[in-house]
Structure 1
């Protein structure tokens, strides 16, 4: 392996698939991917369940010689505390600890707007405010950011946590017009997070260049992120949003 090798956990998921395939994905940008997932992404992969107590050694082996890890593997919705702790919290610890043991330089972690879901919408949201999770899922993402901070400060790992909005093919509701991250911009964002200058634990928002966006992209742009898409092109096709005026949207009210 070499200095272009990146391990991707959760490689069979939606964002993992975007990173592998949309516009050539990360490989078209010079990265060689090592895929990790319990599901089959249709390519060679390591079938590792990051929630298993014995996964640490397997993860460490998978990361041997890699320069970075993109950690996407997670339960992506509200669930029981035991399930979220097992995969989203304990699993993140194992990924970061494996990265430390394997000598990986950088970790890009998929966080979420739900780590700050109880802040109101309507104004640009900076990343330097305390977390305000809206669900147990949001708590698990706040814990992910905290673990990333620990491994950056204590162990010198370069950690970038991405507070990703709605990363889907197209926005579905009027709420999504503010927080959409297009598949193409997801590739651009992760590529920037892998390459950009990092000093200490870094948290940035991840959305496209949306006309109605209310998240501050200063941190992401400082990494070299240059979004090219805008959810506004779908404004005439989305459904009405009647949920709370909170960053977590409907999940903040459930």
Structure 2
């Protein structure tokens, strides 16, 4: 079973093609959770940095040709070496450019994990959903069915973030009931979870590791919210404190998951 102790003992190096808005948030989350983050923006060092990494994260929130080249160059090396790949299709329903870039990335790189909100995963599952930029938006679909459909389509694990998080391989599916509303208030929370997930499966490659990592991040949010119930900015800082100090005993006690 994945443990905080094993993550911190392993201290996996996690390489990131980051969204221009949140690289510091992501680096701090990975570091406090127990990994070692690296960001890169130059395709010329993609192979070298991927080769020393234990996991990679591709955030498609700052879409441009250079970012796509970085994703493909690093992803090909990661696939060849068996290094797990996490991708976040940020606001993919918003523009054709984001859709085309994700499609080009998916054609060149096999993903281990796709992490997104309901609107993003619904787009990938070809389900109608009224997404609104980076926000999940609204839809009538069954989020469990949507996550499973996306997992089958891309042959990977899917983590659908929301009030309740869905983690699935298309066959076995878990619901994580932990969390806090301030995750939606603070931009970058999902990007931080991307890094947490990569750190987890770089340590132990499996669906249950993703479930526990998702729950751990959500529990850290619950604890931060208990300390700052009416201060969303203070919540965000406290979230880092909780990630840095959370124990497996606390996770085991507070974790609310069930198979669906």
TM-score interval, normalised by the smaller of the two chains: 0.3 to 0.5
Judging by fraction of residues, say which structure has more helix.
2
Given the two structures, how large is their TM-score scaled by the length of structure 2? 0.45
Flag the structure with higher strand content.
Answer: 2
